[in-house]
Amino acid sequence: MTHKVGVIAGDGIGPEIVAAALDVVRATGADVDVRDFDLGADRFVRDGHVLDDDDLAALRECDAILKGPLGPPIGSAAVPPGTIERGIILRLRFALDLYVNLRPFTSAGVDFVVVRENTEGSYGGEGGFLYKGTDREVATQGSVNTRSGVERCVRFAFELAQSRPRRHLTLVHKTNVLTFAGDLWQRTFDAVAAEFPDVATAYNHVDASCIYLVEDAARYDVIVTDNLFGDILTDLAGAVTGGVGFAASANLNPSRTGPSLFEPVHGSAHDIAGSGRANPVSAVRSAAMMLEFLGEPEAAARITKAVGDPGSLSGTTAEIGTQISERV
Ligand code: IPM
Ligand code: MN
């Protein structure tokens, strides 16, 4: 079966690591028909284009989207903050209803997955300015948490935990301070937990969870958390499990009303772009998650096995890609 894959190679190191990932995908023999989308900071600087309805319609035609990191060099004056993040990355997550951001982490003795809510919270964009530019200026930035949005994410996390050997799920939040959003999350979590009596549960405040990730990450099996906590925790989780260069993610529309999107957790690292120093493992692993979701679990497993311990791979971006492809 041919899988139509929309590829957004991205900015900075994106094109190098995505090319390596696509070579690895092809080495599995999986039948992919790639369609390239020239989107990102480079494109914006070139002609002012961000992402329009035609791009979205064409992306919707795909079975999956493989995306490299997007964004300008840090501090770039040519791209106002949020242009790419809100204009492309979040627009895709929201428009395609990619409500679960799944981020697995493994290293010696550690094997856990973060289920990050991906369409709400502080990313929802609620807020604004009053009296902007005056000395009375006010900026508000709310966090949107809907019962249905939280519930579908929490339910996904319970189902995932139930399918794993340890059957353990931890809710991470800050219910002691965020007493409205936290209360909704906790009540929803408890209500769904009643449907999954075989899944053991725990609760950690997000600050405590940062300590546990550094000191005792092996305690975790599945973590479910809100959008912003999940963003921050998964950078930390990457850093303590070998580096964000190894961290992959799946932005899933579990109801499959459209394509899901697969991307590295890290950014576009313009400082090393073109030097061959970027590690392609995050993109390779994201591609493996894509194949798994496309119903190619064998191809995905072969990639995971070929990557093995990613800390043992060395060489340039292309060399590491070739080593993985050869082992596939
Ligand atoms: C991530 C990234 C994005 C996020 C940015 C680039 C919008 O940091 O995927 O974790 O904050 O979600
Ligand atoms: Mn992030």
Considering only CA atoms, which residue is closest to atom 11 of ligand 1? 231
Catalytic position from the list 42, 174, 221, 226: 174
Q: 123 an active-site residue?
A: yes
> 3-state SS of 97-116?
CCCEEEEEEEECCEEEEEEE
Return the pLDDT at 221. 99
Looking at residue 93, its pLDDT comes to: 98
Structure confidence at residue 146 (pLDDT) = 98
Q: What is the pLDDT, as a whole number, of residue 60?
A: 98
pLDDT at position 317, please?
A: 98
List per-block mean pLDDT (blocks of 10 residues) for the chain, which spans 328 residues: 97 98 98 98 98 98 98 95 97 98 96 98 97 98 98 98 98 98 98 98 98 98 98 98 96 98 97 97 98 98 97 96 98
Give dist(CA 10, CA 258) in Å, integer: 21
Who contacts 176 (Cβ-Cβ below 8 Å, separation ≥6)?
A: 182, 205
Catalytic residue among 207, 216, 271, 309: 207
Pocket probe mutation, ligand 1, options 39, 76, 85, 234, max atoms within 8 Å of Cβ: 85
Is the minimum distance from the CB of 265 to ligand 1 under 6 angstroms? Answer: yes
The residues, ordered by sequence, that sit 6+ positions from 119 with a Cβ below 8 Å of its Cβ are 93, 94, 97, 98, 99, 149, 227
Say how many Å lie between the CA of residue 47 and the centre of ligand 1.
24
Say if pTM beats, i.e. exceeds, 0.85: yes
Under a CB-based contact definition with an 8 Å cutoff, are residues 199 and 169 in contact?
yes
Task: Give CA torsion, residues 66, 222, 199, 225, to 10 deg.
Answer: -90
Hey, which of 79, 123, 231 would you mutate to test ligand 1's pocket, going by the most ligand atoms within 8 Å of its Cβ? Answer: 231
In this predicted structure, what is the pLDDT of residue 98? 98
Burial of 41 (0-12, 13-18, 19+ CB in 10 A): buried
Residue 50, pLDDT score: 98
Amino acid letter for position 9: A
Q: Can you give the pLDDT at residue 107? A: 94
Nearest to 95 by CA among 126, 118, 67, 68: 118
Ligand 1 pocket, residue 89 CB under 6 Å: yes
| Separation of CA 121 and ligand 2 centre (Å) | 14
